[in-house]
Chains A and B, each alone.
Chain A
Amino acid sequence: MKARALLAAAAAALCLGAASDPAERLKDPAQEARARAIFREVRCLVCQNESIDDSEAELAADLRRIVREQVAAGADEAEVKRFLTARYGEFVLLRPAMSLGNAALWAAPALVVGAGFLLLLLRLRNRAPESELSDAEDARLEQIENDGPTDTIAPNIGRQEGRRVT
């Protein structure tokens, strides 16, 4: 725990946009640009939530070297990421994979928006001026007249009474 904290402190102190160091750079600017794009999606494993593009930690420099070597050898982004994931686990990717385990993570924004719209639609429909009884209300009325249990519908009635008349 202590060692981890020390490492973290050292990494935090040294956080400079490290990947632009000319000593590390690839000769081909197109390859270098591709490598930089990959760096931004790879986590520096010992740092406090930094990409290897930003971190000056030794491990980040090692990872950058590996990625640059692979890019220079013609590997594409997916191949490099596969290699890194096989070695360090999913933790190394700053963009979580679109897998079943991460389904909740990726689906959440859409789900919340969907739920919000659904609620809005329900409200817009329910709040339309009701001059006639709806089918549901008809059914309920029938139930009451037939001496059905009334406790299940009591809250609804209460809410209707509370509704402001405009």
Chain B
Amino acid sequence: MIAETGAFALALALAMSLVQAILSAAGRMRRSTALAAAGEGAALAAFLGVAVAFAALMYGFVTSDFSISNVAANSHTEKPLLYRVAGTWGSHEGSMLLWCLALTAYGSVMVLFGKGLSAGLRACAVAAQGALGTVFLAYTVFASNPLARLADPPVEGRSLNPLLQDPALAFHPPFLYAGYVGMSVVFSLAVAALVEGRVDAAWARWVRPWTLAAWSLLTVGIALGSFWAYYELGWGGWWFWDPVENASFMPWLVATALVHSSVVTEKRGALAGWTVFLALAAFTFSMLGGFLVRSGVLTSVHAFAVDPTRGVLLLAILGASAGAGFALFAWRAPTLNAGGVFAPISRESALVLNNILLSAATATVLLGTLFPLIREATGGQPISVGPPYFNLTFTPLMVGMLILLPAGPLLAWKRGDAAGVAQRLGLAMLIALGAALATFAIASPRHVLGAAGVGLGVWLIAGAGVEIAERTRAFRAPPAETWRRLTGLPRGAWGMTLAHAGLGVFILGACFETAWKVEAAETLAVGQSLDAGAYHLTLERVVDADGPNYEAERGMIRATRGGALVCEAHPERRTFPAGGQTTSEVAICQRGLSHLYVVLGERRDGAAAPVWLVRAYWNPWASLIFIGPAIMALGGLVSLSDRRLRLGVARRAPSKDKAEPPLAAPDMAARVARGEG
């Protein structure tokens, strides 16, 4: 009964989304407040419907109701509660339902907090969001019903992939989807702006919080996925340039570009067309990501919820939505305002440069991901594009961008002073060079690129420090003055500084770990040992450690350094009888910022006694790889809490005349044009 209620609510949500699209569009065309308001009501109803369906599916998973085919295929009674809950979005159908839940939730939030938008823009955006909701809900209802019943329910379910039974991965999809789908709001706002033919500072100010929120969530989602790969796949890598990783990385890159270009549109009224283009592209890449992950056109270690036949439908949805968006862009963009003038050396130019390099990076990742398909389709030999390609193309682009990054925030709008900026960054440059040279001299073995990478990371962090010092006139003004300025800095400024510094922290960790990682592997009998870097690991014994739905061997490994005990590592090798899979549970000893990473491999027959293959990695500064993105996401959130951007605080229409409220846009745009933004 509960599943049927859910299925009914889902169908209702589809109807409501359609109503939302039609009524809101009609409300805009007839300039009718009543129709637009009804459309907004439908948006709320659509969200409620999907929420009920989602709750019903989750209930099915928690109570192991195997008469629901999705539950039977993806759950198991012996699975711990957390993973039964996470199973709700662990399958193709469930993940599409989560996608729809996020889509309609964003629609509702837009309705509830969108009071500051002009009526026309708002009705258009709600209509566009409704259209997106209709398409995706129609797909869910007709092609991937998550609540379909089985005529002949099995006694036991087929378990979820054990590799996916992991806390980081349980929460990875919700973050990722909230990020992906957050871009849908930006997409809808872009469509609305094109229909209205007006992209001004007020519009850009509205796009920014949505982009920031989606970007932060996406950052967390990607970092969680990477963290999962790091400790679950068991060979110490954290980024593989895998198609599925690329699928989530491309929307992130575009969103990053959008966060930066929308600043120019907001503050200077320039780049309006480009910002709209990026807003459309961000959700297009999100949809592309959703398609690539599910369609099975690309092979990946993260193979998940793959279904080639329905992939074609998803591709059609992607083509239709993005096609409509970009066709509208091609038609309307030429009417958009070109905006303010700026000099070659200026904040605007720096942000454009950022966008050029991020676009090139996105194009590289896109081409690297799809090129094998393109070549095969054009009759060429099948080829592979793997990590070596991305290391040779993506990395130089990003290095170029990162070297220039600290200069950007110090440049003035409209016309900057390159020499002055270089002078102000002198201290940061000295610190970075010192760090690189010191690393080169001290770290063994010598590694030029590793040292340069450390220098780059320090350059970003020191650059962020210089930027704050400049803003507060530290060491130049009296301390009281500096303190006053420091406390008076807008949250947006802090957010930017945090995000840039977080990127530096990430670079530091990534480069140090990659350059100075130590790998050791031996087959050990009980009592034998191996050395990994400065650490001496002894296999003391191996015990059985069966869990609720798996059998396991646990290695009791003692790690010492210079004779002193450092940690007891207990890696496991688990076998899941339900699916016949084997996974390894890695033991990670945290040593400051570094990880001693221990893996227990298979049991083999030794000369006298059984031996186990034990692998140990010394991953120096590996924590920074995950702390960095956390700081970046925090930066996004801090920026989001800025008073100017807080939802609902945006200027309200001065008059109650709803026919065509002018908003505060014209005067704001005029102020911006005068450079007072």
Chain A, range 88-133, C-beta contacts under 8 Å to B: 89-96, 101-102, 104-106, 108-109, 112-113, 116-117, 120, 124, 127-129
A147 interfacial by beta-carbon distance below 8 Å? no
Q: A14–B613 contact, CB under 8 A?
A: no
| Residue A29 CB within 8 A of the other chain | no
B340 touching A90 by the CB < 8 A rule?
A: no
- The reply on A164 being an interface residue by CB < 8 A is yes
Shortest CB–CB separation between residue B398 and chain A, in angstroms? 11
Question: B388 — nearest CB in chain A belongs to which residue?
Answer: A95
A65 interfacial contact with B, CB 8 Å: no
Asked whether A34 is an interface residue with its Cβ less than 8 Å from the other chain, the reply is no
Asked if B519 is an interface residue, CB under 8 A from chain A, the answer is yes
Whether A105 and B367, one on each chain, are in contact in the complex, defined by CB atoms closer than 8 angstroms, is: yes
- Contact status B384-A127, CB under 8 Å: no
List A contacts of B355 (CB < 8 A): 116
Please determine whether B388 and A20 come into contact, CB atoms closer than 8 angstroms. Answer: no
Give the residue name and chain of the A residue nearest to B362 (CB): A112
| Inter-subunit contact A127/B615 (CB<8 Å) | no
Contact of B387 among A94, A113, A163 (CB under 8 A): A94
Report yes or no: B334 in contact with A49, Cβ–Cβ below 8 A.
no
Interface contact B384-A43, CB-CB below 8 Å: yes
Contact B360 A96 (CB under 8 A): no
Nearest CB on B from A106, distance (A) = 8
- B235 / chain A contacts, CB cutoff of 8 Å: 15-17, 54
How many inter-chain residue pairs (CB < 8 Å) link A and B?
A: 171
Q: Is B256 an interface residue (CB 8 A)?
A: no
Q: Which residues of A contact B629 (CB under 8 A)?
A: none
A15-B301, A112-B360, A117-B356 known; A21-B384 Cβ under 8 A: no
Is A70 interfacial (CB 8 A cutoff)? no
Complex CA gap A147/B359 in Å reads 44
| Interfacial chain B residues near A49, Cβ < 8 Å | 240, 242-243, 298-301, 384, 386
Quick check: is B33 within 8 A (CB to CB) of the other chain?
no
Contact for B356 among A9, A17, A95, A116, CB less than 8 A:
A116
Do B363 and A112 have beta carbons less than 8 Å apart?
yes
Q: Which of B234, B384, B584 contacts A91 (CB 8 A)?
A: B384
- Chain A residue numbers with a CB within 8 Å of B393 are 106, 109
B381 CB–A CB distance under 8 Å:
yes
CB-CB under 8 A from B342, the residues of chain A are 124, 127
Given contacts A54-B237, A94-B388, A166-B340, contact A109 B582 (CB under 8 A): no
The answer, yes or no, to whether B315 is at the interface (CB within 8 Å) is: no
CB-CB contacts of B279-315 with A at 8 A, as 1s and 0s?
0000000000000000000111101000000000000
In the complex, which residues 347-371 of chain B have their Cβ closer than 8 Å to any Cβ of chain A? 349, 352-353, 355-357, 359-361, 363-364, 367-368, 371
For residue A8, CB closer than 8 A to chain B, the reply is: yes
Q: How far is the CA of A51 from the CA of B520 in the complex (A)?
A: 19
Q: Point out the residue from A16, A41, A91, A124 that lies within 8 Å of B381, measured CB to CB.
A: A91
For residue A107, give the distance in angstroms from its CB to the closest CB of chain B.
Answer: 10
A interface residues, tally (CB under 8 Å): 52
Residue B389 CB within 8 A of the other chain: yes
Q: Is B344 an interface residue (CB 8 A)?
A: yes
Bound complex: CA of A113 vs CA of B582, how far in Å?
A: 45
A16 CB → nearest B CB, Å: 5
With A16-B584, A105-B389, A164-B340 already in contact, the answer to whether A93 and B383 are too (CB < 8 A) is yes
Chain B interface helix/strand/loop/mixed: mixed
> How close is B359's CB to chain A, nearest CB, in angstroms?
6
**Pairwise interchain contact A162-B337, C-beta atoms closer than 8 A:** yes
Complexed CA–CA distance, A116 and B301 (Å): 34
B338 CB to closest chain A CB, in angstroms?
6
- In the complex, the answer to whether A41 meets B388 with C-beta atoms within 8 Å is yes
Given contacts A15-B235, A90-B381, A108-B367, contact A164 B389 (CB under 8 A): no
Q: In the complex, A40→B298 CA distance in Å?
A: 20
| Number of residues of chain B lying within 8 A (CB) of chain A | 72
In the complex, which residues 371-397 of chain B have their Cβ closer than 8 Å to any Cβ of chain A? 371, 375, 380-389, 392-394, 396-397
Find the A residue at minimum CB distance from B576. A13
Q: In angstroms, how far is the closest chain B Cβ from the Cβ of A119?
A: 8
Give the residue among A8, A163, A166 with the most B Cβ atoms within 10 A: A166
List B contacts of A105 (CB < 8 A).
Answer: 367-368, 371, 385, 389
Measured CB to CB, the closest approach of chain B to A27, in angstroms, equals 15
Is B236's beta carbon under 8 Å from chain A?
yes
**A101-B381, A102-B383 known; A17 and B375 CB under 8 Å?**
no
Q: Is A23 in contact with chain B by the CB < 8 A criterion?
A: yes
Give the shortest distance, in Å, between B677 (CB) and chain A (any CB). Answer: 13
From A92, A93, A162, give the contact of B335 (CB < 8 A): A162
Are A164 and B615 within 8 A (Cβ)? Answer: no
Residues of B within 8 A of A106 (CB): 393
* Alpha-carbon distance A166/B674, docked complex (angstroms): 7
B195 within 8 A of A: no
Given known pairs A8-B299, A13-B163, the reply for A92 and B384 (CB within 8 Å) is: yes
Question: Which residues of B are found within 8 Å of A158, using beta-carbon distances?
Answer: 334-335
Tell me, in angstroms, the Cα distance from A106 to B522 when the chains sit together: 40
Question: B599 contacts the other chain (Cβ, under 8 Å)?
Answer: yes
Q: Is the CB of B383 within 8 A of A20?
A: no
Contacting residues, chain A, for B339 (C-beta < 8 A): 164
Minimum C-beta distance from B313 to chain A (A): 19
Q: Mark A125-166, 1 if CB is under 8 A from B, else 0.
A: 001110000000000000000000000000100110011101
For B368, give the chain A residue with the smallest CB separation.
Answer: A105
User: Does B5 touch A at the CB level, under 8 Å?
Assistant: no
Find the A residue at minimum CB distance from B385.
Answer: A96
Chain A residues near B522: list those with CB within 8 A: 22
Chain A residues with Cβ below 8 Å from B349 are 120, 124
* B300 surroundings in chain A (CB, below 8 A): 48-49
Chain A CB within 8 A of B233 CB: yes
Which residues of B lie under 8 Å from residue A48 when comparing CB positions?
A: 299-301, 303
Residue B26 is within 8 A (CB to CB) of chain A in the complex: no
Measured between alpha carbons, how far is A40 from B353 in the docked complex, in Å?
A: 33
Give the chain A neighbours of B233 by CB distance below 8 A: 15
Beta-carbon contact of A164 and B338 below 8 Å: yes
* Assembled-state Cα–Cα distance A102/B360 (Å): 17
Contact yes or no, A113 B388, CB < 8 A: no
| Known contacts A8-B303, A15-B234; A96/B389 CB under 8 A | yes
Least CB distance, B561 to chain A, in whole angstroms? 21
* B338→A162 contact, CB < 8 A: yes
Q: A41-B386, A158-B335, A162-B338 are in contact. List 20 more A-B contacts (CB 8 A).
A: A17-B236, A17-B521, A43-B384, A48-B299, A49-B384, A93-B384, A94-B389, A96-B384, A96-B389, A102-B371, A106-B393, A113-B360, A113-B397, A116-B360, A163-B337, A164-B269, A164-B337, A164-B673, A166-B341, A166-B675
Can you list 23 contacts pairing A with B, beta carbon distance less than 8 Å? A13-B581, A20-B520, A21-B521, A22-B522, A54-B235, A91-B384, A95-B392, A96-B383, A104-B367, A105-B389, A109-B363, A112-B356, A113-B397, A116-B355, A116-B356, A120-B356, A127-B341, A128-B341, A159-B334, A163-B338, A164-B337, A164-B340, A166-B673
The 7 A-B pairs at the shortest CB distance, nearest first, are namely A94-B386, A17-B235, A116-B356, A95-B388, A20-B521, A112-B360, A13-B581
